[in-house]
Structure 1
Amino acid sequence: MLDNPRSPRVRAVAKLEKRAARLETGQFLLEGPQAVAEALTFRPELVVELFATPTALERYADIAQAAEDADIEIEFVTEQVLDAMADTVTPQGFIAVCRQFPVSVKDIFNNEPKLIAILEEVRDPGNAGTIIRAADAAGADAVILTGRSVDLYNPKVVRSSTGSIFHLPVAVGANLSDVRDRARAAGLQIIAADIKGDDLLTARNDGVLAAPTAWLFGNEARGLTDDDLLLTDKSISVPIYGHAESMNLATAASVCLYESAFAQRS
């Protein structure tokens, strides 16, 4: 059992909270039973190391079985060691070190997608992870993060996605104009989610959302720039019927993605 919170091995895992360490190693941190279970189920080949407390492993026998099926050894650690490794206050008994696995923008569009989400300068890791999760739930084919967006492998992004990063392709470091060109070449319309855009209900009634679509979501505070909007085919806003001053980006993105999913499946 690994029981020294100050050991070099523990410190090496803990360093993955920092972007520099993730860039250097090509690895990232995965915390909690849900995320670990998703990795073992969908992408077990990415798991480099898996740590758990004995208590947690007793409680989640399915994770123990999934690790055994994937021929992945689980190393027991104390609660103190787990706390030293974790980015969160409560890692819930499990931590894994995984290899990064971004896909290329070219590969995404070669697979003839019908619905994707593009994140341009989305900086909040909770928003980015939640949008990835919403895209997964809505049946989107991929998510693309431009180079000005938050790091996909930031622990808070990974945690907020609740395992969805293992379910659908996610490209990183993309250039927005290049994404625009590839989207149009693949037959997708590019719709910006923008507060000055047309009403979403109007777009729904006009049948706009049934076509293959790449939704573009911008920065939480500033939205999309005028230059960004010039790269799109249409701008659409999510109406606010109550008295809220604004809507959280991830919530608005979830609405937009589901509206397209409904329209494309109707």
Structure 2
Amino acid sequence: MPFSQQFMDNPKADRVKRVASLRQASVRRRLGLFLVEGPQAVREAVAYMPERVHDVYIDTSHNPHDDIISSALEAANPIYLHHVSTKVMEAISPDAQSIAAVVSSEGLIRTLDDIDLNPLNTEFSEIGSTSSDNPEKNYQPQTDLIVACWQARDPGNEGTLIRTADASGCRAIILVDDSAHPLNPKVVRSSAGSLFHIPVIQASTEEFFAWAEKHSLPIWAADIHGTQEHAPYDLVTVLADRNSGLVKPAATPIMLFGNEARGLPTEIVERAGRAVMIPLYGSAESLNLAMSGAVMMYSIAMAQHQG
């Protein structure tokens, strides 16, 4: 679809200011648009959700991005391509890495009822698959696990968890309570395009627990302390038990992670009803949220696939 014939080289132009303003949450909410920065995230947006992409801004003096341009030109809907100067790109976003896109946010963040709880259609496979006809509506989970994060405040950690949940084939990721907004530019960047693959949900604490109870979904709290009634299980022990409910689930399990600084409060662990911890073999006190998420998601995914 069309290239703009006008080379954009004025960083103070009104259009540049409007695009740059999408870094502000209030503007994103008002316009129903958000900014996607960097080659990987833009590439995935154009490939997986081209109908959402309005404009792509490219500083070709740094990188021609021929593959992204080709995908945009082949899209059924018009994606407008704009060549810009380095100064304009820096004004749009200092984190753009020579390419940025304006994308529609309407309906992108799903609801709990959008999560597919049907049994997996095939045995666990080694490689995930997504329908090329309409990937947004046909994400195919490859691991029987839902990931949830309670009050994940750091956008970089949250984006990394979205990316890891996607890579390990999880059904969805649920952002519970006061978590960073998934369309925060840093979340979008650190998800490296996975935001456009896996269902991402926002829910309050009460909505989350009520939904899990309604569907009889077991919740495992990632917590090193547990509670008086629920001492934490060791992850190695849980994965060795083929009937633990994580490796061979009777119902799709949910792995719940806590806040970066405070973890999960006791009342949340009690409501989950069970806790699991990653064993620490060295002297470190703990792992950060993104690393804990990666270890647990991939350990569970590999155990399920082996099972």
Q: Same fold (TM over 0.5)?
A: yes
**Which of residues 178, 189, 192 is equivalent to 1:148?**
178
- 2-structure distance, mates of 1:203, 1:195: 14
- Please give the secondary structure, in 2, of the residue aligned with 1:134: helix
Which structure: greater helix fraction? 1
Amino acid corresponding to residue 120 of structure 1 in structure 2: W
Q: Distance in 1 between matches of 2:11 and 2:118?
A: 45
Is contact 2:62–2:98 with CA below 8 Å preserved after alignment? yes
Residue of structure 2 in register with 1:186 after alignment: 215
Matched, 1:204 2:239: yes
Candidates 5, 8, 22, aligned match of 1:16: 22
Shift of 1:181: 2.7
Superposition CA RMSD, Å: 1.6
Question: Partner residue of 2:39?
Answer: 33
Q: Which residue of 1 aligns with 2:122?
A: none
- Counterpart for residue 69 of structure 2: 64
Write the mapping of 1:231-250 to structure 2, written as runs, cut at 5 A.
Answer: 231-250=271-290
Q: 2:80 aligns with which of 73, 80, 103?
A: 73
Q: Which residue in 1 is equivalent to 2:294?
A: 254
Look up the equivalent residue of 1:66 and give its one-letter code. Answer: S
Contact 1:177/1:231 (8 A) holds in 2: no
Per the alignment, do residues 111 and 17 of structure 1 end up closer, same or farther by CA in structure 2, a change over 3 Å counting?
Answer: farther
Map of 1:164 onto structure 2: 194
Aligned AA (2:296): C
SS of match in other structure, 1:48: strand
What do the CA deviations read for 1:206-245 (whole angstroms, capped 9, x no partner)?
Answer: 2322112111111011111122112213101111111112
Deviation for aligned residue 1:106: 1.1
**Could you tell me how far apart the structure 2 residues matched to 1:134 and 1:144 are?**
13
Give the deviation of 1:74 after TM superposition: 0.7
Q: CA deviation at 1:42?
A: 0.6
Post-superposition offset of 1:54: 2.7
1:166 and 1:118 map into 2 onto residues whose CA distance is 18
Structure 1 runs (4+) greater than 4 angstroms displaced:
109-113
Q: 1-side partners of 2:34 and 2:92: how far apart?
A: 12
Tell me if structure 1 keeps the 8 A contact 2:61–2:86. no
Distance 2:190 2:63 in 1: 23
Q: In the TM superposition, what is the alpha-carbon distance from 1:188 to its structure 2 partner?
A: 2.5
Q: Secondary structure at the match of 2:102?
A: strand
1:127 is aligned to 2:157: yes
**Which residue, out of 136, 148, 151, partners 1:118?**
148
Give 1:178 deviation, angstroms. Answer: 2.1
May I ask how many residue pairs the two structures share in their alignment? 262
> 2:134 matched to which residue of 1?
none
- Is residue 48–residue 196 contact of structure 2 (8 Å, CA) maintained in 1? yes
Q: Which TM-score applies when normalising by structure 2?
A: 0.81
Letter in 2 for 1:92: Q
Q: 1:139 aligns with which of 169, 174, 180?
A: 169
Q: Deviation at 1:7?
A: 1.3
TM-score, length-scaled by structure 1: 0.93
Runs (5+) with no aligned partner, structure 2: 1-6, 120-140, 226-231
The 1-side partners of 2:45 and 2:215 are apart by 30
Separation in 1 of the partners of 2:298 and 2:214? 24
Stretch deviating more after TM superposition (48-57 or 148-157):
48-57
Q: CA deviation at 1:26?
A: 1.6
Distance 2:177 2:280 in 1: 30
User: Structure 1, residues 75-99: CA drift from partner, whole Å, max 9, x if none?
Assistant: 11111000001152xx221010111
Is contact 1:199–1:239 with CA below 8 Å preserved after alignment? yes
8 Å contact 1:199–1:238 — kept in the other structure? yes
Moved more, 13-22 or 156-165: 13-22
Identity over aligned residues, as a percent?
41
